Chains A and B, each alone.
Chain A
């Protein structure tokens, strides 16, 4: 009830003109109701005077509603003027009158859902295309920069490389270790359940050790690194783009590829294989522990069987590590450099970077398997 009384407007017809009488508080709190009220009002067909004496308070929202009404009436060829009220009202109204001429709100976004949908598909396709092309271009730049740095090794930012090794490698040790240890336990447990039926429980050792060394150690590490470090690369570089830091680097004559990308790439190529090695060891430790506790294979027997497994399996796993590292680092940096200036785009590119690098790592892993199979390794 009080709400309805707070502000209102009535229209009174006189013989040669109409009187529009706003009253109460014409402020933003009442703007929605007043807007509706003005729309419901039957507009007069003769000159109008807007009589401000009843207005207790007015802010820009309220004043705008009056100015807008006046503009609508004027557009229909009616003369309109303001009268009465506090002097401040008129300053405000005049000011909005001037601004109102320029005030056409931009059309709201996303009015047509179907068209929008097609637009989005088109944009996604185009962005995929430019993404692939751009990545090849980026790859070329990185190779050239790497070549230049190889010729003049002093240009390599050693401090940055070590900082990134610490961030991507050393500080990832606990989580990588824990995950591989648990995976080792799970693998050994599942293998034991199946192999017990054939009475071949000691084969658990061979099975899990080969699976861990060939596949799981490196694959898990790579996926963890894509989620942990690839995303961090994208977010770091993307935030620098938003803050114009990358432009500042360019303007200072520094090459962002050399300053930002190479140290991250080199650091990950060093730390990911080491982490994979660490993951192998803890995975084996996990499976050994389970074998001992659940199957009763004592550690001596375990290490003996382990020593009989060909070392090739280990190298097959390790060879993949630097390749995965290159993929993760390059995609992480590339998606970071594609950020376009908003916080939202940092988030989008980071998601992309993780999804793409995990996907590529798994695809490459499959290709490696085919390759090694054909080679008979």
Chain B
């Protein structure tokens, strides 16, 4: 993008260790997230992807390490600065985390109500537009409660809430899990558009090989309790670590990552 310099780091993680009880989930993890890139985060189940995301957001205490967002150490921020920072984040949690006592439309309007003083009518309109963007029907689905939604609809509603403020950094935890392939493809397109038009930066935990190939600029691999390596698909294909080899050369991956498949997807 013309208005964003390529190597501008928006999130810098250094030496991060997170543990629960006596077990360390992350140990000495390092990661850079550049402005306006889409970073895919992959790793086995239970390898600590969600924990890494939560640690960056300050939701789990860390044992050691330093996390800088927009060049500021998050541990050194006071409450007001934290609030302002969080306003620039959008988060989609793995389980959706919709507020169960609000309707879908109200859920999406929460950040609008809390962070910007919009009139109720305009907030409802913008919430409806976002719902339509993620493929929900604002009139029919908007008035439902989260307990009345299907799994994929919950994901979409949560995504609508995550992007409602046009955040600068969007954290997504398995956004396409539970979506049908058409919905997942539409999601990929939506994300691409948003990064192009709004200069979004994306931190996306995903198991969706399609998303990895189609929209991710770089991929970070989480294994052995730290960020093993980061790089483009081509660079990771050359990686020798057994888990990475298994991931990118396994039977499922072969369909996506073989040279001619890569050529096809451009």
Residues of chain A having any CB pair with chain B under 8 Å: 27-29, 31-32, 35, 59-61, 64, 68, 88-89, 91-92, 95-96, 99-106, 108-109, 242, 340-345
Please pick, from B128, B148, B197, the residue contacting A104 in the complex, using a CB distance under 8 A: B128
Q: With A31-B116, A91-B193, A91-B196 known to touch, is A341 a contact of B126 (CB < 8 Å)? A: no
Q: Are A341 and B145 in contact (CB under 8 A)?
A: yes
Contact B166 A27 (CB under 8 A): yes
5 pairs of A and B residues whose beta carbons are closest in the complex? A341-B147, A344-B101, A342-B100, A99-B132, A105-B128
Which B residues are in CB contact (< 8 Å) with A28? 112, 116, 118, 126, 165-166
Q: Is the CB of A32 within 8 A of B166?
A: no
Nearest CB on B from A252, distance (A): 19
SS of B interface (majority): helix
In the complex, which residue of chain A has the Cβ closest to the Cβ of B163? A60
B40 within 8 A of A: no
Min CB–CB distance B129 → chain A (angstroms)? 5
CA distance A59 to B99 in the complex (A): 26
Contact A89 B197 (CB under 8 A): yes
B43 at the interface (CB under 8 A from A): no
Nearest A residue to B124 via CB reads A105
Q: Which residues of B contact A108 (CB under 8 A)?
A: 120, 124
Please state if A106 and B147 are interface contacts (CB–CB under 8 Å): no
Contact yes or no, B100 A104, CB < 8 A: no
Please, which residues of chain B bring their CB within 8 A of the CB of A91? 193, 196-197
Contact A103–B131 (Cβ < 8 Å): yes
Contacts of A100 in B (CB 8 A): 129, 132
B133 contact set on A, CB distance < 8 A: 60, 95-96, 99
CB of A92 within 8 A of CB of B101, answer no
Known: A99-B132, A104-B128, A344-B100. A242 touches B147 (CB 8 A): yes
B142 within 8 A of partner (CB): yes
Can you list, as one digit per residue, whether each of B155-199 has a CB less than 8 Å from chain A (1) or not (0)?
000000001011000000000000000000000001001001110
Q: CA A91 – CA B193 in complex, angstroms?
A: 7
Please list 15 pairs of residues, one from A and one from B, whose beta carbons are closer than 8 Å in the complex, sorted by A's number. Answer: A32-B117, A32-B118, A35-B119, A60-B126, A88-B197, A89-B197, A92-B193, A96-B129, A102-B138, A104-B138, A105-B125, A106-B105, A108-B120, A242-B147, A342-B100
Decide: A103 near B101, CB < 8 A? Known: A31-B118, A60-B198: no
The closest CB in chain B to the CB of A65 belongs to: B122
> What residue in chain A is nearest B117 (Cβ atoms)?
A32
Q: Which of B100, B118, B126, B196 contacts A242 (CB 8 A)?
A: B100
- Interface size of B by Cβ–Cβ distance < 8 Å? 39
- B94, chain A: closest CB distance, angstroms: 14
Known contacts A99-B129, A105-B127: A31-B122 contact under CB 8 Å: yes
Q: In the complex, A106→B141 CA distance in Å? A: 9
Q: Which residue of B lies closest to A94 (CB)?
A: B193
Residues in B whose Cβ lies below 8 Å from that of A242:
100, 147
Please give the distance in Å from B107's CB to the nearest CB on chain A.
12
Measured between beta carbons, the chain B residues less than 8 angstroms from A101 are: 132
Cross-chain contact A35 with B122 (CB below 8 angstroms): yes
B252 interfacial by beta-carbon distance below 8 Å: no
User: How near does chain A come to B40, taking the closest CB pair, in angstroms?
Assistant: 22
B143 within 8 A of A: yes
Question: Chain A nearest CB: distance from B211 CB in Å?
Answer: 19
Tell which of A64, A89, A101 has the most Cβ of chain B within 10 Å. Answer: A64
Name the one of A64, A343, A345 contacting B126, with C-beta atoms under 8 angstroms: A64
Flag whether B35 is at the interface (Cβ < 8 A). Answer: no
Q: Assess whether A105 is in contact with B137, with CB atoms less than 8 Å apart.
A: no
Docked CA distance A345–B101 (Å) = 8
Docked pose: A207 CA to B34 CA in angstroms: 80
Please, which residues of chain B bring their CB within 8 A of the CB of A68? Answer: 125
B60 part of interface (Cβ distance < 8 Å): no
Q: Do B125 and A64 have beta carbons less than 8 Å apart?
A: yes
Query: Is the CB of B103 closer than 8 A to any CB of chain A?
Result: yes
Shortest distance in angstroms between A72's beta carbon and chain B's nearest beta carbon? 12
User: Do B128 and A32 touch (CB < 8 A)?
Assistant: no
Task: Determine the residue in chain B with the shortest Cβ distance to A98.
Answer: B132
Specify the chain B residue showing the minimal Cβ separation from A30: B116
Contact A32 B197 (CB under 8 A): no
Residue of A nearest to B95 (CB): A243
Residues from chain B with Cβ under 8 Å of A35 in the complex: 118-119, 122
CB distance from B96 to the nearest CB of A (A): 13
Residues from chain A with a CB closer than 8 A to the CB of B143 are 106
Smallest CB gap from A62: residue in B:
B166
Q: Does B130 contact A (CB under 8 A)?
A: yes
Q: Is B139 an interface residue (CB 8 A)?
A: yes
Q: Give chain B nearest CB distance to A247 CB in angstroms.
A: 11
A96: chain B residues at CB < 8 Å are: 129, 133
CB distance from A63 to the nearest CB of B (A): 8
**Measured between alpha carbons, how far is A295 from B143 in the docked complex, in Å?**
68
**A99, B131: Cα distance in complex, Å:** 8
